[in-house]
Amino acid sequence: MALTQTSFSFTWRDARVLFGKLCLVLFLCSLLWVVTYRWVDPPVTLHMLSKRSEPSPNDQQVKEIDFTFVELEDMSAQLPLAAIAAEDQLFLSHSGFDFKAMKMAFDKNMSGKRKTVVGGSTISQQVAKNVFLWHGRSYLRKGVEMYFTFLIELLWGKERIMEVYLNIAEMGDHVFGVHAASQKYFNTTPDKIGRQQAALLAAVLPNPIRYKVSKPTGYVLRRRRAIVRNMGRLGGTEYIKGWML
């Protein structure tokens, strides 16, 4: 009995069609993901999941993640004000990116004069990175971060971005968000946080493992004073009234 040989040819046109379908699926999945988190609070982030498998650098013991989501209306207005004053003073006016700050950070990093890498990310970019992406430094990850930043700016708005940011920001060893930080460091709830306390939490955000709220170094205390001054220059809580309150 003769065997019939079936030939299969895969052309560049087939490859382009397949690639286009893959891109469409990825786009729709990412869009659905972002839209879902517009209304549903993230139960966990990729960064939290990675922390769950890491031992604490302080005692080399694996710790549980302390995380509870709090609505923005249940927070003191000092908290978003301190975050803006410390991390992104153009937050309410930019469209997700501060290109001037990004260029300054790039120039400083390329100069080779600094041992540590300088960041130029906005609060929106930090949310996109921490909620949807892995941590690391590569052009691919940065490009995907910009894509998700554009989506959350378009679909979430500033209030939701700030709400998620204050809930997922790492503020200590395995401590995420203002609820856990308020209880751990001040034995209170987020709605009772004052200006000095909010500024101290914001002061450790660049490196919450190295800089500690419970044992602030001279650098952290100087940074807190600078943040408090910036909060006043912005206009205090009046600056964010009508947007949050």
- Taken in order 106, 82, 201, 164, the sign of the CA dihedral is negative
> Which pLDDT does position 19 carry in this prediction?
82
Quick one: DSSP state of residue 62? B
> Which pLDDT does position 149 carry in this prediction?
95
Q: How far apart are CA 184 and CA 214, in angstroms?
A: 9
Yes or no: say if 152 and 124 are a contact pair by the CB < 8 Å rule. Answer: yes
> Which pLDDT does position 20 carry in this prediction?
86
> Which pLDDT does position 57 carry in this prediction?
61
> Which pLDDT does position 160 carry in this prediction?
96
**Domain boundaries, given as residue ranges, for the chain:** 66-240
DSSP result, 174-215: TEEHHHHHHHHHHSS-GGG--HHHHHHHHHTTT-TTTS-SSS
pLDDT digits (tens, 9 = 90+) for 191-236: 999 999 999 999 999 899 899 999 999 999 999 999 999 999 999 9
Strands (E), the chain: 170-172, 175-176
> Which pLDDT does position 165 carry in this prediction?
97
CATH for 66-240 (1.20.58.110, 3.40.50.300, 1.20.1250.20, 1.10.3810.10)? 1.10.3810.10
Which ranges of the chain have pLDDT less than 70?
1-10, 53-63, 101-103, 105-120, 136, 242-245
> Which pLDDT does position 244 carry in this prediction?
63
> Which pLDDT does position 37 carry in this prediction?
95
Q: How far apart are CA 120 and CA 170, in angstroms?
A: 18
> Which pLDDT does position 181 carry in this prediction?
95
> Which pLDDT does position 125 carry in this prediction?
94
Yes or no: say if 178 and 74 are a contact pair by the CB < 8 Å rule. Answer: no
